[in-house]
Amino acid sequence: MKYYTATSNGFRIKDFDLRHTIESAQPLTFHADYNLAEGTLEYAAGDKVIRAVCLGNSKECTVRLHSNDMAFAKKEFAKRFALNDDMERIYARISTDQFVVSAIERYHGMRVTMNDPWETTLCFIMSQYNNVKRIRLIIKRFVSEFGPEILDGDGKTVGKGFPSSGDLIGRTEADFRGCGAGFRAKYIKSAADYCTNNLDLYKLHNKSYDKIKEELMRISGVGDKVADCIALMGYGKMEAFPIDVWVKRTLEGVYFDGKKKKIGDLHRFAEERWRPYAGYAQQYIFHGARNM
């Protein structure tokens, strides 16, 4: 069953908000170009550039796409922005308390995006001990410095693609530090090498959440929180519930009267309370906590 209607150049979508999705610290936050005033988004996917214009509101909107390959653009956008998610059902399931209900009201239509696994891995390794503004600056530099050129039909460069692990394998830690990666440079170098030579991220999709997380945590620089971010936004595993300082503090304050809890206890709490859509609950809690 589809929860959107395809048009000749895009979609009509219920319960979708491009702004909330883009501003919620997901991978596209860090490398796509979003114009709030015009409601436009431009980003590279593979060797294509996609431009989207969103008109309407979060209850029901129209998205118009522009690309030299519309069939690809429509398929990519629908997958990336989880247009087939049953948001009415998801909202009903995760609305267990007023905190989540309020977050849904404020950020109605925010989707948990589905992104390229390596893109997600690089973005969230870069996110450690960092803020959104700086992550975006660094990732944009990585795209500019190391991303492959995207050409139009006339051979003219129209953009840069997101660099693959193979694009980075020949680069040095110094190259990465030159883009602002700082101490993360050694982890990026190790991750690029490992994901090119030892782990095929694109063969993990059919594995269980636990197995994916286990494999991801073999990558240097990928701990519990980053592995959950990748499992959720790179593989669509809704069991994943990334817990950073914001989420931990919020869960303790809202649900445990401020008492400190272990990460494992919070994972079990989230699984029991919000399954099978714990990942969606996390994103609303995270975004709500960041903007309180």
Per-position pLDDT tens, the chain of length 292: 678 999 999 999 999 999 999 999 999 999 999 999 999 999 999 999 999 999 999 999 999 999 999 999 999 999 999 999 999 999 999 999 999 999 999 999 999 999 999 999 999 999 999 999 999 999 999 999 999 999 988 788 889 999 999 999 999 999 999 999 999 999 999 999 999 999 999 999 999 999 999 999 999 999 999 999 999 999 999 999 999 998 999 999 999 999 999 999 999 999 999 999 999 999 999 998 887 6
Question: Which pLDDT belongs to residue 67?
Answer: 95
Residue 83 CA: distances (Å) to CA of 52, 63, 258? 14, 11, 37
The yes or no reply on domain 117-235 and CATH 1.10.340.30 is yes
Please confirm whether the linkage preceding 117 is cis (ω < 30° from 0). no
Chain centroid to CA 142:
17
Q: What angle do CA 70, 74, 77 make, to 5 degrees?
A: 130
Residue 20 contacts residue 287 (beta carbons within 8 Å): yes
Residue 199 contacts residue 219 (beta carbons within 8 Å): yes
